[in-house]
Amino acid sequence: MTASDTSFVPKGRPLPQRQPLARVIDSLVFSIVLYSVIVGGIVFLAYSGAQAMGYNWQWYRIPQYFYTVTDDGFQWGEISTGLVKTLTLSATAFALAVLLGLLTALLRLSGLVVCTAVAVGFLELVRNIPLLVLLYVFYYVLGPIFGFDRYWASILCLAVFHAVLISEIFRAGINAVPKGQWEAATSIGMSKAQAYRYIILPQSVRFMLPPMTGEAVHMVKSSAIVSVIAVAELTTIGRNIISDTYMSFEIWFTIAAVYMVVTLILSIGVSFVERRYAVDT
């Protein structure tokens, strides 16, 4: 008997109705109204506050920073190029962070004293330095020594910083796979490397996807810090535009919105992937 079976007439007495007030509060419409009132209130307060300061809103000047269409044709604006830079920077740093994080997690789980010591040393070192200081170390100290520019200093700094967090995600994901899986893999003659590759890691993916998304979002956001060494990404571009135009309210609102759109798209995309994995296993 399914819910869509319209011929179904229950023999039992219907359940007592809920309180009318409780039904209203739980309804979707009520949630949307409440949400709109709160957001609208905040926007109104900000806006009227700015009016009171005599702030001169110039939203009409914002679109040109995304793209312009002139006699020369279509051209991307500064915010768009900055966004692309932010995305390539974050993506490269994230890829490196995943590799480094996996390596650290495997070293730590290897059971060999030397490897564990190396991994723990790396983790504690990075974990106890503020991100900003780490960035200065990479740019002012390691950069000149090893000969990389500000762009690569940013990427490496972000990669190292996030590798620490990602290695914990890997470690938890690997440990979440039951011990019996190791035993079964071992008992059919697999080496440790084969067991990781074919049995353990594929199963850990399911446990790791949600926190990994969180890390990817975190990466996009913390990439803003590289504006302090003037890498021309989104935040730096925002600052540059403001120093030319003094439109700080419009630009910061816009930059914040762009970050939000990117991270939201990331979260939604991954939740689709997650659902696929949930069905497969």
Partner 1 sequence: MSGDAAIITFDHVDKFYGDFHALKDISISVREGERMVVCGPSGSGKSTLIRCINGLEFHNSGVLTVDGVEVYEDSKEIYRLRQEVGMVFQQFNLFPHLTVLENLTIGPIKVRKVSPSEAEATARKYLERVRIPEQADKYPAALSGGQQQRVAIARSLCMESRIMLFDEPTSALDPEMINEVLDVMVELADTGMTMVVVTHEMGFARKVADTMVFMDGGEIVETAPPERFFTNPASARCRAFLDQILDH
Which residues here bind partner 1, judged by CB under 8 A? 178, 180-181, 183-191, 194, 198-199, 202-203, 280-281
CB of 187 to partner 1, least distance (A): 4
Complex with partner 1: residue 13 or 276, whichever CB lies closer: 276
In the complex with partner 1, the residue whose CB is nearer, 110 or 263, is: 110
Smallest gap from residue 119 Cβ to partner 1 (A): 23
Nearer to partner 1 (CB atom), residue 70 or residue 281: 281
Nearest residue to 263 via CA among 96, 83, 100, 76: 83
φ/ψ (deg, to 5) at 91:
-65, -45
Nearest-angstrom CA–CA distance, 167 and 162: 8
216: tokens are 């990817």
User: Is the Cα torsion angle 237, 242, 247, 249 positive or negative in sign?
Assistant: positive
Beta carbon of residue 207, minimum distance to partner 1 (angstroms, whole number): 12
Q: Which residue has the tokens 């010591």?
A: 117
Q: Return the DSSP state at 281.
A: -
Assign residue 212 a region: left if phi > 0, alpha if psi is -120 to 50, beta otherwise? alpha
Q: How far is the CB of 157 from partner 1 (least distance, A)?
A: 35
Cβ at position 173, least distance to partner 1 in Å = 13
Amino acid, res. 77: G
Q: How far is CA 115 from CA 100, 119, 176, 190, in A?
A: 14, 6, 21, 22
Considering the complex, state which of residue 130 and residue 189 has its C-beta at the smaller distance from partner 1: 189
Query: Looking at beta carbons only, is 20 or 189 nearer to partner 1?
Result: 189
